[in-house]
Structure 1
Amino acid sequence: QESAPSTSVSTPDTATMELTQKQADELSQQTDVTIATLAKEADHIAQQNKTLQDGDEVTISLH
């Protein structure tokens, strides 16, 4: 039995984990994710998260 794909997103600010996990769950539903898609999504998450400073990392992990 194949397990469903899972994706996690982490940011330096733990207050945004609920939002980023929702975005990660949506991303994991896509079947044709490319590196460009991941980069665009990480940038989008960083823009939405007003507490992130320039240079803070958004990490997207595929499991």
Structure 2
Amino acid sequence: MRVTVDEDRCCGAGQCVLLAPEVFDQRDEDGIVVLLDAEPAPSLHAIVREAAEVCPGAAIAVSEDG
């Protein structure tokens, strides 16, 4: 799995951070997503997919190609 984020689409809702704090964080100054791990461990794949699905700005993209 490969994860990418589009900071321009992020609205700072923080759902990704709540779901997968090992993979996502937020900038202190504006709440925009920070990607901590672009290739998360297999044990995190399901929760990362969920974070991408619930992102209100559709700022998270997941590629299963690795």
Give the TM bin, normalised by the shorter chain: 0.3 to 0.5
Q: TM-score with structure 2 length normalisation? A: 0.32
Q: Greater CA radius of gyration, 1 or 2?
A: 1
Q: TM-score with structure 1 length normalisation? A: 0.33
Greater strand content = 2
